[in-house]
Structure 1
Amino acid sequence: MQEEGQGRRGSTPPAAKDRAGSAQAASTQGEGGPGWRADRGPRLVSSLLPQITRPAFKKRSPAAAQLIADWAAIVGPVVAAQTVPRNVSAGTLTIACSGPVAMELQYLAPQLIGRINTAMGQALVQKLRFVQAALKPPTPRPQKPKPMALPERVEASLEQVADPELREALARLAQGVYRGRR
Structure 2
Amino acid sequence: MFDTPLDPPPDPPAALRLFFALWPGQALRRHIAEHQRLWQWAPPARPAAATKLHLTVLFMEGVPADRVTTLLEVGERVARNWADFALTLDRAAVWRHGGIAHLTPSQPPAELLSLRAALAEQVGQRGLPFDARAFAPHVTLARRAQATQPPVTFPPLHWTVRGFALVHSVLGTGRYDVIGRWPLNR
Decide: shared fold, TM above 0.5: no
Higher strand proportion: 2
TM-score with structure 2 setting the length: 0.26
Larger radius of gyration: 1
- Ranked by relative contact order (alpha carbons within 8 Å, sequence separation 6 or more), the top structure is 2
Query: Which is helix-richer, 1 or 2?
Result: 1
